[in-house]
Chains A and B, each alone.
Chain A
Amino acid sequence: MKTNTFSEIGRDFGGLLVLATIALTAGILINQFRADPIPLVYASKTARLEKAVASVQNAKPAETEIAPETAGPSEVRDIDLGEFRDLLTKQNALVLDARPEIFHRLGHVPGALALPRDDFESYYQKHRTKLESYKNRTLLIYCQGSSCEDSHLVADALSHLGYLRLAVFTGGWNQWTQEHLPEEKQ
C-alpha cells in the first residue's frame, strides 16, 4: 500500500464533484417524472399534514361544517394496550392505522382503517363518510410503536378537523404483535 499524494486526492475530489453533479442532475430529472414528485425545498411532516388538513377543510361540503361550539382542536389522550382494548370492545371505537399504507396491507389491528400520515388527504377523502360519522365518537389511532410520531400527527390533524374524542395507542403495532393479538391482512 502506498500513500496517496495531495495532488491525487485533489484529482479524486474533482472526479467526485463531477459524479455528484451528474447524480444531482439525474436525481432532479427522475423526480420530475415521478407521479408524486417532491418539491425542491423540504417541508416538514407537520407542515405537509397541515397543508393536507387545509385541503380537506377546503373540500368540505357545506352541510358538514363544524359547529362553532365544537370548532378548535380537542385534546388527544395517550392510552396503553389495556385501555385500547377496553375502548375497542366497550365503546365500539373506530381504529385508525397511521402507518404507511404498505404496512397496513401487510397486517393491522382487525377492523382498523388505513389513514397513513404520509398520504393523509387521499385516505381521508376515501374514508370520509365513515370518519365523519365518528365526529363525536371515539377514534383510536396507532402507528408502529412508541418511537413513531405518525399517530400523534394524524390525531392532531383530526383534532383540527373537529374530531372530539381522540386517543393514541402509544404501544402501537409493535406491542399489539408482541402480545400475539389477532391480525387482519388486506
Chain B
Amino acid sequence: MKSILANRWLLFSLRIILGGIFAYAGAVKIQTPQTFADSIAAFQLLPPQLINLLAMALPPLEIVTGVMLILGWRKRLASFAVLVLCIVFLVALATALLRNIPVDCGCFGSSQPSHWSTMIGFGRDILLTFAAYLLYQQRPPAPLAADVVAE
C-alpha cells in the first residue's frame, strides 16, 4: 500500500489535480468577493473586521498555491499551504455541521446553503486533505516538476 501511495505518477497526477482544483476555486471566488465574504460570515466564526480581509486574501492564495503545485515550483511549500488550507476548511465545515448551521461552503463560488451541501463539502475536503498530505510527505522529486527540470 505504501509503495502505491508513493508512486511517482500517482503523486504527479495528484499534484496536477489538486493544483487545478485550487487555482480554479480561487479564480471563481476572486470575481465575487462580496458573495465569498457572505459565505465566510455564514460560518459565524470570525469577527466582521476579519471577514472581508480573508475574502480578499484567500482567492489569490489559492490561485498562487494551485499554480505552484501545477508547475511543481516550490512544491513542498505549495503542498504544505494546500494542506493547511484544507485542514482549516475541514475545521470550519465540521463546526458548521456540529452547530447545525446550513452554510454555503463557498468553495467554488456561491451555491444554496444546506446541510447536504455542507456534508458534501466536508467529504470532498477530507479527500483533498488526504491528497495534500500525500504530496507534502513526498520526498523523491516528482517527474516533470519545474525545479527538477531546472536541476
Tell me if B145 is interfacial: C-beta within 8 Å of chain A. no
Q: Tell me the dominant secondary structure on chain B's binding face.
A: helix
Specify which chain A residues have a CB less than 8 angstroms from the CB of B49 in the assembled complex. Answer: 40-42
Within 8 A of B (CB), among A1-53: 1-2, 4, 9, 12-13, 15-16, 19-20, 22-24, 26-28, 30-31, 34, 36, 38-45
Specify which chain B residues have a CB less than 8 angstroms from the CB of A23 in the assembled complex. Answer: 57-58, 60-61, 64
Specify which chain B residues have a CB less than 8 angstroms from the CB of A41 in the assembled complex. Answer: 48-49, 52
Q: Of A26, A28, A39, A42, which is within 8 A of B41 by CB?
A: A42
Tell me if A107 is interfacial: C-beta within 8 Å of chain B. no
A148-B56 contact in complex given A4-B136, A16-B77, A16-B80, C-beta closer than 8 Å: no
B35 to chain A, nearest CB (A): 7
Q: How large is the interface on A (under 10, 10 to 19, 20 to 34, 35 or more residues)?
A: 20 to 34
How distant is the Cα of A36 from the Cα of B34 in the complex, in angstroms?
9
Tell me if B99 is interfacial: C-beta within 8 Å of chain A. no
B30–A16 touching, CB < 8 Å: no
Q: Of A28, A45, A147, which is within 8 A of B38 by CB?
A: A45
How distant is the Cα of A40 from the Cα of B139 in the complex, in angstroms?
41
B141 to chain A, nearest CB (A): 14
Tell me if B10 is interfacial: C-beta within 8 Å of chain A. no
Tell me if B19 is interfacial: C-beta within 8 Å of chain A. no
Tell me if A118 is interfacial: C-beta within 8 Å of chain B. yes
B51–A24 touching, CB < 8 Å: no
Tell me if A151 is interfacial: C-beta within 8 Å of chain B. no
Within 8 A of A (CB), among B62-93: 64-65, 74, 76-77, 80-81, 84
How distant is the Cα of A118 from the Cα of B39 in the complex, in angstroms?
13
Tell me if B53 is interfacial: C-beta within 8 Å of chain A. yes
B112–A19 touching, CB < 8 Å: no
Tell me if B20 is interfacial: C-beta within 8 Å of chain A. no
A24–B53 touching, CB < 8 Å: yes
Tell me if B27 is interfacial: C-beta within 8 Å of chain A. no
How distant is the Cα of A20 from the Cα of B11 in the complex, in angstroms?
25
B60–A30 touching, CB < 8 Å: yes
A residues contacting B by CB (< 8 A) are 1-2, 4, 9, 12-13, 15-16, 19-20, 22-24, 26-28, 30-31, 34, 36, 38-45, 100, 118, 144-145, 147-148
A-B contacts, 24 listed (Cβ < 8 Å): A1-B138, A13-B80, A15-B77, A19-B64, A19-B65, A19-B77, A19-B81, A20-B57, A23-B61, A27-B55, A27-B60, A30-B30, A31-B33, A38-B33, A40-B49, A40-B52, A41-B49, A42-B37, A45-B38, A100-B110, A118-B35, A147-B102, A147-B113, A147-B114
Q: Given A1-B137, A34-B33, A148-B113, list of 13 further CB < 8 A pairs?
A: A1-B139, A2-B137, A12-B77, A15-B77, A19-B65, A20-B57, A20-B61, A23-B57, A28-B53, A28-B57, A38-B33, A38-B52, A42-B51
